[in-house]
Structure 1
Amino acid sequence: MPEGDTVFRTADKLRTALVGKALTRCDVRVPRYATVDLSGQVVDEVLSRGKHLFIRVDNASIHSHLKMDGSWQTGRVRVPVHKVRIVLETADSRAVGVDLGVLEVLERAGDVQTVAHLGPDLLGPDWSADVAAANLLADPDRPLAETLLDQRVLAGVGNVYANELCYVFGLRPHTAVGAVADPLRLMQRTQQMLWANRLRVQRCTTGDTRRGRELWVYGRANEPCRRCGTRIETDRSGDRVTYWCPACQR
Protein backbone atom coordinates (compact mmCIF):
# COMPACT_ATOMS: atom_id res chain seq x y z
CA MET A 1 0.00 0.00 0.00
CA PRO A 2 1.64 3.28 -1.10
CA GLU A 3 2.34 5.54 1.87
CA GLY A 4 4.88 8.31 2.40
CA ASP A 5 7.82 5.90 2.70
CA THR A 6 6.85 4.15 -0.56
CA VAL A 7 6.66 7.47 -2.40
CA PHE A 8 10.01 8.59 -0.97
CA ARG A 9 11.63 5.37 -2.16
CA THR A 10 9.97 5.71 -5.57
CA ALA A 11 11.38 9.22 -5.96
CA ASP A 12 14.85 7.90 -5.11
CA LYS A 13 14.49 5.20 -7.78
CA LEU A 14 13.34 7.73 -10.39
CA ARG A 15 16.26 10.05 -9.60
CA THR A 16 18.69 7.26 -10.37
CA ALA A 17 16.93 6.46 -13.63
CA LEU A 18 16.20 9.95 -14.95
CA VAL A 19 17.91 12.93 -13.33
CA GLY A 20 20.56 14.64 -15.46
CA LYS A 21 19.51 12.78 -18.58
CA ALA A 22 17.71 13.96 -21.71
CA LEU A 23 14.41 12.31 -22.52
CA THR A 24 14.39 10.38 -25.78
CA ARG A 25 10.72 9.50 -25.38
CA CYS A 26 7.78 11.07 -23.54
CA ASP A 27 4.50 9.24 -24.05
CA VAL A 28 1.66 10.55 -21.87
CA ARG A 29 -1.43 8.37 -22.07
CA VAL A 30 -3.91 10.65 -20.38
CA PRO A 31 -6.20 12.36 -22.93
CA ARG A 32 -5.82 15.86 -21.51
CA TYR A 33 -2.02 15.71 -21.79
CA ALA A 34 -1.61 13.33 -24.71
CA THR A 35 -0.04 16.01 -26.92
CA VAL A 36 2.66 16.87 -24.35
CA ASP A 37 6.10 15.83 -25.58
CA LEU A 38 9.15 16.64 -23.46
CA SER A 39 11.57 14.67 -25.63
CA GLY A 40 14.97 16.30 -25.91
CA GLN A 41 14.68 18.04 -22.56
CA VAL A 42 16.70 17.14 -19.46
CA VAL A 43 15.14 15.86 -16.24
CA ASP A 44 16.35 18.27 -13.56
CA GLU A 45 14.98 16.75 -10.36
CA VAL A 46 12.47 14.41 -8.79
CA LEU A 47 10.68 15.48 -5.61
CA SER A 48 8.36 13.69 -3.22
CA ARG A 49 5.89 15.60 -1.06
CA GLY A 50 3.86 13.38 1.21
CA LYS A 51 2.21 10.96 -1.21
CA HIS A 52 2.82 13.17 -4.26
CA LEU A 53 5.64 12.97 -6.83
CA PHE A 54 7.02 15.69 -9.11
CA ILE A 55 9.35 15.03 -12.03
CA ARG A 56 10.70 18.39 -13.17
CA VAL A 57 11.75 18.70 -16.81
CA ASP A 58 12.79 22.16 -18.02
CA ASN A 59 9.72 24.41 -17.50
CA ALA A 60 7.33 21.51 -16.96
CA SER A 61 6.54 19.33 -13.97
CA ILE A 62 4.98 15.87 -14.20
CA HIS A 63 2.83 15.49 -11.10
CA SER A 64 1.57 12.08 -10.01
CA HIS A 65 -0.16 10.44 -7.08
CA LEU A 66 -0.11 6.66 -6.69
CA LYS A 67 -3.48 6.42 -4.88
CA MET A 68 -4.18 2.77 -3.96
CA ASP A 69 -2.80 0.80 -6.89
CA GLY A 70 -0.36 3.05 -8.73
CA SER A 71 3.38 2.61 -9.15
CA TRP A 72 6.40 3.88 -11.05
CA GLN A 73 8.53 1.09 -12.45
CA THR A 74 11.96 1.30 -14.05
CA GLY A 75 13.85 -0.91 -16.46
CA ARG A 76 12.03 -3.73 -18.18
CA VAL A 77 8.36 -3.51 -17.26
CA ARG A 78 5.82 -6.25 -17.80
CA VAL A 79 2.31 -4.90 -17.27
CA PRO A 80 -0.82 -4.85 -19.45
CA VAL A 81 -0.65 -1.96 -21.91
CA HIS A 82 -3.97 -0.50 -20.75
CA LYS A 83 -2.52 0.09 -17.27
CA VAL A 84 0.33 2.30 -18.51
CA ARG A 85 -0.28 6.04 -18.02
CA ILE A 86 3.11 7.43 -19.04
CA VAL A 87 6.43 6.25 -20.48
CA LEU A 88 9.65 8.23 -20.03
CA GLU A 89 12.84 7.02 -21.69
CA THR A 90 16.44 8.22 -21.89
CA ALA A 91 19.33 6.73 -23.83
CA ASP A 92 19.92 4.14 -21.10
CA SER A 93 16.85 4.05 -18.85
CA ARG A 94 13.09 3.72 -18.82
CA ALA A 95 10.43 4.76 -16.29
CA VAL A 96 6.81 3.73 -16.60
CA GLY A 97 3.87 5.07 -14.58
CA VAL A 98 1.33 2.29 -14.01
CA ASP A 99 -2.27 2.75 -12.78
CA LEU A 100 -1.43 6.21 -11.43
CA GLY A 101 -4.36 7.71 -9.55
CA VAL A 102 -3.37 11.22 -10.64
CA LEU A 103 -1.20 12.23 -13.58
CA GLU A 104 -0.93 15.76 -14.89
CA VAL A 105 1.66 17.99 -16.51
CA LEU A 106 1.97 21.37 -14.80
CA GLU A 107 3.99 24.53 -15.24
CA ARG A 108 7.06 24.04 -13.10
CA ALA A 109 6.93 27.51 -11.58
CA GLY A 110 3.68 26.76 -9.76
CA ASP A 111 3.72 23.01 -9.31
CA VAL A 112 4.01 23.02 -5.52
CA GLN A 113 0.77 25.00 -5.24
CA THR A 114 -0.90 21.67 -5.96
CA VAL A 115 0.21 20.45 -2.54
CA ALA A 116 0.12 23.72 -0.63
CA HIS A 117 -2.78 22.42 1.47
CA LEU A 118 -0.71 19.58 2.93
CA GLY A 119 0.64 19.53 6.45
CA PRO A 120 4.37 19.09 7.21
CA ASP A 121 5.98 16.34 5.15
CA LEU A 122 7.19 13.55 7.44
CA LEU A 123 10.14 12.82 5.15
CA GLY A 124 10.71 16.31 3.77
CA PRO A 125 12.79 19.36 4.69
CA ASP A 126 9.69 21.19 5.97
CA TRP A 127 8.97 18.61 8.69
CA SER A 128 8.02 20.18 12.03
CA ALA A 129 6.74 18.02 14.87
CA ASP A 130 5.48 21.14 16.64
CA VAL A 131 3.37 22.25 13.68
CA ALA A 132 2.07 18.73 13.15
CA ALA A 133 1.11 18.42 16.83
CA ALA A 134 -0.78 21.71 16.67
CA ASN A 135 -2.60 20.52 13.55
CA LEU A 136 -3.42 17.24 15.27
CA LEU A 137 -5.07 19.00 18.20
CA ALA A 138 -7.10 21.42 16.10
CA ASP A 139 -10.14 19.14 16.49
CA PRO A 140 -9.71 17.26 19.80
CA ASP A 141 -12.92 15.25 19.36
CA ARG A 142 -11.89 13.76 16.04
CA PRO A 143 -10.91 10.03 15.97
CA LEU A 144 -7.15 9.54 16.17
CA ALA A 145 -6.66 7.20 13.18
CA GLU A 146 -8.83 9.41 10.98
CA THR A 147 -6.82 12.48 11.98
CA LEU A 148 -3.48 10.80 11.30
CA LEU A 149 -4.73 9.95 7.81
CA ASP A 150 -5.65 13.57 7.06
CA GLN A 151 -2.85 14.82 4.83
CA ARG A 152 -3.68 18.41 5.82
CA VAL A 153 -2.54 17.54 9.35
CA LEU A 154 0.71 15.83 8.35
CA ALA A 155 1.73 14.43 4.98
CA GLY A 156 2.71 10.80 4.49
CA VAL A 157 0.71 8.59 6.86
CA GLY A 158 -1.45 5.86 5.33
CA ASN A 159 -3.69 3.24 6.90
CA VAL A 160 -0.86 0.88 7.88
CA TYR A 161 0.96 3.52 9.91
CA ALA A 162 -2.24 4.97 11.36
CA ASN A 163 -3.16 1.59 12.86
CA GLU A 164 0.37 0.76 13.98
CA LEU A 165 0.84 4.12 15.70
CA CYS A 166 -2.43 3.75 17.58
CA TYR A 167 -1.16 0.40 18.87
CA VAL A 168 2.26 1.73 19.85
CA PHE A 169 0.61 4.51 21.87
CA GLY A 170 -1.95 2.19 23.47
CA LEU A 171 -5.02 3.89 22.01
CA ARG A 172 -7.78 2.44 19.87
CA PRO A 173 -8.17 3.93 16.37
CA HIS A 174 -11.51 5.59 17.21
CA THR A 175 -10.20 7.24 20.39
CA ALA A 176 -10.55 11.04 20.34
CA VAL A 177 -7.36 12.98 19.60
CA GLY A 178 -7.82 14.83 22.87
CA ALA A 179 -6.99 11.62 24.74
CA VAL A 180 -3.41 11.60 23.45
CA ALA A 181 -1.25 12.34 26.49
CA ASP A 182 1.77 13.65 24.59
CA PRO A 183 0.90 14.80 21.03
CA LEU A 184 4.43 16.06 20.34
CA ARG A 185 5.92 12.66 21.19
CA LEU A 186 3.35 11.00 18.91
CA MET A 187 4.41 13.23 16.01
CA GLN A 188 8.09 12.60 16.70
CA ARG A 189 7.55 8.83 16.78
CA THR A 190 5.51 9.00 13.56
CA GLN A 191 8.39 10.69 11.77
CA GLN A 192 10.91 8.22 13.21
CA MET A 193 8.80 5.28 12.07
CA LEU A 194 8.50 6.48 8.47
CA TRP A 195 12.14 7.57 8.34
CA ALA A 196 13.32 4.12 9.45
CA ASN A 197 11.29 2.58 6.60
CA ARG A 198 12.00 5.08 3.84
CA LEU A 199 14.37 2.75 1.96
CA ARG A 200 12.89 -0.62 2.97
CA VAL A 201 10.88 -2.62 0.47
CA GLN A 202 9.04 -4.37 3.33
CA ARG A 203 8.10 -1.86 6.02
CA CYS A 204 8.60 -2.82 9.65
CA THR A 205 7.14 -1.21 12.77
CA THR A 206 7.95 -3.88 15.37
CA GLY A 207 11.72 -3.84 15.01
CA ASP A 208 11.63 -7.50 13.94
CA THR A 209 12.25 -7.69 10.19
CA ARG A 210 11.67 -11.44 9.91
CA ARG A 211 8.92 -12.25 7.41
CA GLY A 212 5.52 -12.23 9.09
CA ARG A 213 6.84 -10.39 12.17
CA GLU A 214 7.03 -6.86 10.80
CA LEU A 215 3.71 -5.36 11.98
CA TRP A 216 1.91 -5.15 15.33
CA VAL A 217 -1.77 -5.21 14.33
CA TYR A 218 -2.37 -4.18 10.72
CA GLY A 219 -3.74 -7.05 8.64
CA ARG A 220 -3.66 -9.39 11.66
CA ALA A 221 -7.38 -9.74 12.50
CA ASN A 222 -8.05 -12.70 14.83
CA GLU A 223 -4.33 -13.36 15.26
CA PRO A 224 -2.76 -13.14 18.76
CA CYS A 225 -1.31 -9.85 19.93
CA ARG A 226 2.47 -10.00 19.88
CA ARG A 227 2.61 -8.61 23.42
CA CYS A 228 -0.29 -10.16 25.37
CA GLY A 229 -1.73 -12.89 23.15
CA THR A 230 -5.24 -11.38 22.97
CA ARG A 231 -6.83 -11.78 19.56
CA ILE A 232 -6.63 -8.70 17.34
CA GLU A 233 -10.01 -7.15 16.51
CA THR A 234 -10.99 -5.31 13.35
CA ASP A 235 -13.66 -2.95 12.04
CA ARG A 236 -14.38 -2.92 8.32
CA SER A 237 -17.50 -0.75 8.44
CA GLY A 238 -15.83 2.57 7.62
CA ASP A 239 -13.83 3.93 4.69
CA ARG A 240 -10.66 2.43 6.15
CA VAL A 241 -10.18 -0.88 7.94
CA THR A 242 -8.99 -0.55 11.53
CA TYR A 243 -7.20 -3.07 13.76
CA TRP A 244 -6.51 -3.06 17.50
CA CYS A 245 -5.71 -5.19 20.50
CA PRO A 246 -8.59 -4.89 23.02
CA ALA A 247 -6.18 -5.49 25.91
CA CYS A 248 -3.21 -3.30 24.97
CA GLN A 249 -5.22 -0.41 23.53
CA ARG A 250 -7.67 1.30 25.83
Structure 2
Amino acid sequence: MLLKLYLLLLTLICYTNAQEIEMKNNLDQIGVYEHQGDTVPLHLTFTDEYNKTKTLEEFIRNKPTVLTLNYYSCKALCSPLLTGVSHVLNKLDLKPYVDYNVLTISIDPKDDHQTALAKKQTHLKMIKKDFPPQTWSFLTGTQENINQISDAIGFKYKKRIKDGVVDYLHPGVIIVLSPNGKISRYLNGVDYLPFDLKLALLEAKEERVGPTIAKTLLFCFAYDAKSKTYIFQAEKVIGILMFLIVAIFFIYLVKTGRKKQEKDDE
Protein backbone atom coordinates (compact mmCIF):
# COMPACT_ATOMS: atom_id res chain seq x y z
CA MET A 1 0.00 0.00 0.00
CA LEU A 2 2.78 2.41 0.95
CA LEU A 3 4.66 1.67 -2.26
CA LYS A 4 1.54 2.29 -4.38
CA LEU A 5 0.92 5.64 -2.71
CA TYR A 6 4.54 6.62 -3.22
CA LEU A 7 4.45 5.72 -6.90
CA LEU A 8 1.18 7.60 -7.43
CA LEU A 9 2.55 10.67 -5.72
CA LEU A 10 5.72 10.49 -7.80
CA THR A 11 3.65 10.22 -10.99
CA LEU A 12 1.61 13.28 -10.06
CA ILE A 13 4.75 15.28 -9.30
CA CYS A 14 6.26 14.34 -12.67
CA TYR A 15 3.00 15.25 -14.44
CA THR A 16 2.86 18.59 -12.63
CA ASN A 17 6.42 19.36 -13.66
CA ALA A 18 5.53 18.55 -17.25
CA GLN A 19 2.54 20.91 -17.06
CA GLU A 20 4.73 23.66 -15.61
CA ILE A 21 7.24 23.21 -18.44
CA GLU A 22 4.42 23.35 -21.01
CA MET A 23 3.04 26.51 -19.39
CA LYS A 24 6.48 28.14 -19.39
CA ASN A 25 6.97 27.27 -23.05
CA ASN A 26 3.59 28.80 -23.89
CA LEU A 27 4.38 31.97 -21.95
CA ASP A 28 7.76 32.18 -23.67
CA GLN A 29 6.04 32.10 -27.06
CA ILE A 30 3.20 34.53 -26.39
CA GLY A 31 3.15 38.02 -25.00
CA VAL A 32 3.51 41.67 -25.96
CA TYR A 33 6.80 42.89 -27.37
CA GLU A 34 6.31 46.64 -27.34
CA HIS A 35 7.01 48.66 -30.46
CA GLN A 36 6.28 52.19 -29.24
CA GLY A 37 7.01 54.72 -31.95
CA ASP A 38 6.60 52.25 -34.82
CA THR A 39 3.85 52.73 -37.37
CA VAL A 40 1.35 50.00 -38.17
CA PRO A 41 0.96 49.02 -41.86
CA LEU A 42 -1.90 51.32 -42.82
CA HIS A 43 -2.38 49.66 -46.23
CA LEU A 44 -3.68 46.42 -44.69
CA THR A 45 -7.33 45.72 -45.48
CA PHE A 46 -9.94 44.33 -43.09
CA THR A 47 -13.69 43.76 -43.28
CA ASP A 48 -16.00 45.35 -40.74
CA GLU A 49 -19.19 44.06 -39.14
CA TYR A 50 -21.24 45.46 -42.05
CA ASN A 51 -19.17 43.51 -44.59
CA LYS A 52 -17.35 46.60 -45.85
CA THR A 53 -13.65 46.24 -46.62
CA LYS A 54 -11.32 49.18 -45.99
CA THR A 55 -7.70 49.87 -45.20
CA LEU A 56 -6.53 50.51 -41.66
CA GLU A 57 -5.87 54.08 -42.69
CA GLU A 58 -9.54 54.46 -43.65
CA PHE A 59 -10.72 52.92 -40.39
CA ILE A 60 -8.43 55.16 -38.33
CA ARG A 61 -9.78 58.27 -40.13
CA ASN A 62 -6.89 60.44 -38.97
CA LYS A 63 -8.08 60.11 -35.36
CA PRO A 64 -6.45 58.66 -32.24
CA THR A 65 -7.53 55.02 -32.16
CA VAL A 66 -7.85 52.34 -29.52
CA LEU A 67 -6.86 48.95 -30.95
CA THR A 68 -7.55 45.51 -29.49
CA LEU A 69 -6.79 42.04 -30.87
CA ASN A 70 -9.22 39.32 -29.81
CA TYR A 71 -11.32 36.59 -31.40
CA TYR A 72 -15.08 36.48 -31.34
CA SER A 73 -15.64 32.92 -30.09
CA CYS A 74 -13.26 33.41 -27.15
CA LYS A 75 -14.79 32.39 -23.83
CA ALA A 76 -11.87 33.40 -21.64
CA LEU A 77 -9.88 36.64 -21.59
CA CYS A 78 -11.56 38.37 -24.55
CA SER A 79 -14.94 38.85 -22.87
CA PRO A 80 -13.67 40.60 -19.72
CA LEU A 81 -11.19 42.61 -21.80
CA LEU A 82 -13.87 43.90 -24.21
CA THR A 83 -16.19 44.44 -21.27
CA GLY A 84 -13.45 46.52 -19.67
CA VAL A 85 -13.17 48.54 -22.88
CA SER A 86 -16.96 49.04 -22.93
CA HIS A 87 -16.96 50.28 -19.33
CA VAL A 88 -14.09 52.71 -19.79
CA LEU A 89 -15.62 54.10 -23.00
CA ASN A 90 -18.84 54.66 -21.09
CA LYS A 91 -16.96 56.87 -18.61
CA LEU A 92 -14.49 58.48 -21.02
CA ASP A 93 -14.69 62.27 -21.09
CA LEU A 94 -14.08 62.56 -24.83
CA LYS A 95 -16.47 62.63 -27.78
CA PRO A 96 -16.69 59.23 -29.49
CA TYR A 97 -16.16 59.26 -33.26
CA VAL A 98 -15.07 62.90 -32.99
CA ASP A 99 -12.08 62.58 -30.67
CA TYR A 100 -11.26 58.91 -31.15
CA ASN A 101 -12.09 55.57 -32.80
CA VAL A 102 -11.96 52.01 -31.51
CA LEU A 103 -10.92 49.00 -33.60
CA THR A 104 -11.16 45.36 -32.55
CA ILE A 105 -9.49 42.92 -34.94
CA SER A 106 -10.11 39.19 -34.74
CA ILE A 107 -7.02 36.97 -34.77
CA ASP A 108 -9.17 34.07 -36.02
CA PRO A 109 -9.39 34.14 -39.84
CA LYS A 110 -12.56 32.03 -39.64
CA ASP A 111 -14.48 34.85 -37.97
CA ASP A 112 -16.71 36.75 -40.38
CA HIS A 113 -18.76 39.93 -40.41
CA GLN A 114 -21.72 38.16 -38.81
CA THR A 115 -19.79 37.01 -35.75
CA ALA A 116 -18.21 40.46 -35.64
CA LEU A 117 -21.63 42.15 -35.65
CA ALA A 118 -22.93 39.89 -32.89
CA LYS A 119 -19.92 40.72 -30.72
CA LYS A 120 -20.32 44.43 -31.44
CA GLN A 121 -24.00 44.43 -30.48
CA THR A 122 -23.19 42.69 -27.21
CA HIS A 123 -20.68 45.32 -26.14
CA LEU A 124 -22.49 48.39 -27.45
CA LYS A 125 -25.35 47.48 -25.10
CA MET A 126 -22.95 47.99 -22.19
CA ILE A 127 -22.36 51.61 -23.16
CA LYS A 128 -25.22 53.69 -21.74
CA LYS A 129 -24.22 57.15 -22.92
CA ASP A 130 -24.65 58.60 -26.42
CA PHE A 131 -22.19 56.54 -28.44
CA PRO A 132 -22.28 56.52 -32.27
CA PRO A 133 -22.03 52.84 -33.33
CA GLN A 134 -19.54 53.68 -36.08
CA THR A 135 -17.04 54.68 -33.39
CA TRP A 136 -16.21 51.04 -32.63
CA SER A 137 -15.54 48.73 -35.57
CA PHE A 138 -15.19 44.96 -35.23
CA LEU A 139 -12.96 43.66 -38.00
CA THR A 140 -12.03 40.37 -39.62
CA GLY A 141 -9.30 39.62 -42.11
CA THR A 142 -7.04 37.12 -43.81
CA GLN A 143 -4.37 35.22 -41.91
CA GLU A 144 -1.69 37.16 -43.78
CA ASN A 145 -3.06 40.54 -42.72
CA ILE A 146 -3.69 39.33 -39.17
CA ASN A 147 -0.05 38.22 -38.98
CA GLN A 148 1.17 41.56 -40.26
CA ILE A 149 -0.80 43.68 -37.81
CA SER A 150 0.02 41.42 -34.85
CA ASP A 151 3.73 41.46 -35.76
CA ALA A 152 3.65 45.24 -36.18
CA ILE A 153 2.36 45.82 -32.65
CA GLY A 154 4.36 42.96 -31.09
CA PHE A 155 1.28 40.90 -30.20
CA LYS A 156 2.42 37.28 -30.04
CA TYR A 157 -0.22 34.58 -29.75
CA LYS A 158 -0.46 30.86 -30.34
CA LYS A 159 -3.17 28.76 -31.93
CA ARG A 160 -4.02 25.63 -29.95
CA ILE A 161 -6.14 22.60 -30.79
CA LYS A 162 -7.24 20.68 -27.71
CA ASP A 163 -9.87 17.93 -27.69
CA GLY A 164 -10.87 18.96 -31.19
CA VAL A 165 -11.51 22.57 -30.11
CA VAL A 166 -9.50 25.41 -31.61
CA ASP A 167 -8.62 28.35 -29.40
CA TYR A 168 -5.89 30.95 -29.12
CA LEU A 169 -3.47 31.66 -26.30
CA HIS A 170 -2.90 35.39 -26.28
CA PRO A 171 -2.13 38.34 -23.99
CA GLY A 172 -4.62 40.92 -22.77
CA VAL A 173 -3.73 44.44 -23.87
CA ILE A 174 -5.09 47.46 -25.69
CA ILE A 175 -2.96 49.69 -27.89
CA VAL A 176 -3.45 53.36 -28.58
CA LEU A 177 -2.52 54.55 -32.08
CA SER A 178 -1.91 58.08 -33.25
CA PRO A 179 -3.85 59.57 -36.21
CA ASN A 180 -0.96 58.53 -38.45
CA GLY A 181 -0.92 54.97 -37.13
CA LYS A 182 2.02 55.38 -34.76
CA ILE A 183 2.00 53.07 -31.72
CA SER A 184 1.70 55.57 -28.88
CA ARG A 185 0.97 53.52 -25.77
CA TYR A 186 0.12 50.05 -24.42
CA LEU A 187 -2.39 49.48 -21.62
CA ASN A 188 -2.16 46.00 -20.12
CA GLY A 189 -4.87 44.09 -18.29
CA VAL A 190 -8.67 44.12 -18.56
CA ASP A 191 -9.62 47.09 -16.34
CA TYR A 192 -8.80 50.59 -17.52
CA LEU A 193 -9.09 53.96 -15.83
CA PRO A 194 -10.82 56.71 -17.84
CA PHE A 195 -8.03 59.12 -16.90
CA ASP A 196 -5.34 56.76 -18.25
CA LEU A 197 -7.12 56.20 -21.55
CA LYS A 198 -7.95 59.89 -21.97
CA LEU A 199 -4.32 60.83 -21.38
CA ALA A 200 -3.16 58.16 -23.84
CA LEU A 201 -5.56 59.40 -26.53
CA LEU A 202 -4.58 63.04 -26.01
CA GLU A 203 -0.90 62.14 -26.25
CA ALA A 204 -1.57 60.05 -29.35
CA LYS A 205 -3.37 62.98 -30.95
CA GLU A 206 -0.12 64.91 -30.69
CA GLU A 207 1.85 61.93 -32.10
CA ARG A 208 3.56 61.48 -28.73
CA VAL A 209 4.72 58.14 -27.31
CA GLY A 210 4.03 57.25 -23.68
CA PRO A 211 5.12 54.51 -21.26
CA THR A 212 3.10 51.33 -20.80
CA ILE A 213 0.32 51.52 -18.22
CA ALA A 214 0.02 48.54 -15.84
CA LYS A 215 2.95 46.18 -16.23
CA THR A 216 0.99 43.09 -15.17
CA LEU A 217 0.15 41.25 -18.38
CA LEU A 218 -2.69 38.74 -18.38
CA PHE A 219 -2.83 35.73 -20.68
CA CYS A 220 -5.81 33.97 -22.17
CA PHE A 221 -5.84 30.45 -20.73
CA ALA A 222 -8.78 29.86 -18.38
CA TYR A 223 -10.79 32.57 -16.66
CA ASP A 224 -11.85 32.10 -13.05
CA ALA A 225 -14.65 34.65 -12.70
CA LYS A 226 -14.83 34.29 -8.91
CA SER A 227 -11.22 35.24 -8.23
CA LYS A 228 -10.82 37.26 -11.44
CA THR A 229 -7.57 35.49 -12.26
CA TYR A 230 -6.37 33.53 -15.25
CA ILE A 231 -5.04 30.06 -14.54
CA PHE A 232 -4.57 26.64 -16.08
CA GLN A 233 -7.57 24.54 -15.06
CA ALA A 234 -5.31 21.45 -15.06
CA GLU A 235 -3.24 22.94 -12.25
CA LYS A 236 -6.30 23.20 -10.02
CA VAL A 237 -7.12 19.54 -10.54
CA ILE A 238 -3.54 18.44 -10.00
CA GLY A 239 -3.28 20.55 -6.85
CA ILE A 240 -6.41 18.98 -5.39
CA LEU A 241 -5.24 15.47 -6.26
CA MET A 242 -1.82 16.04 -4.72
CA PHE A 243 -3.43 17.40 -1.56
CA LEU A 244 -5.68 14.34 -1.32
CA ILE A 245 -2.79 11.96 -1.89
CA VAL A 246 -0.68 13.65 0.78
CA ALA A 247 -3.64 13.62 3.21
CA ILE A 248 -4.29 9.92 2.57
CA PHE A 249 -0.59 9.18 2.94
CA PHE A 250 -0.50 11.05 6.26
CA ILE A 251 -3.57 9.20 7.58
CA TYR A 252 -2.02 5.89 6.49
CA LEU A 253 1.19 6.66 8.39
CA VAL A 254 -0.75 7.64 11.51
CA LYS A 255 -2.85 4.46 11.47
CA THR A 256 0.18 2.30 10.74
CA GLY A 257 2.04 3.90 13.63
CA ARG A 258 -0.85 3.30 16.00
CA LYS A 259 -1.12 -0.36 15.04
CA LYS A 260 2.60 -0.82 15.53
CA GLN A 261 2.43 0.87 18.94
CA GLU A 262 -0.50 -1.35 19.99
CA LYS A 263 1.47 -4.47 19.03
CA ASP A 264 4.50 -3.24 20.96
CA ASP A 265 2.30 -2.59 24.02
CA GLU A 266 0.99 -6.15 23.86
* TM-score normalised per structure 2: 0.24
- Alignment TM-score, normalising by the size of structure 1: 0.25
**Greater C-alpha radius of gyration:** 2
Higher helix share: 2
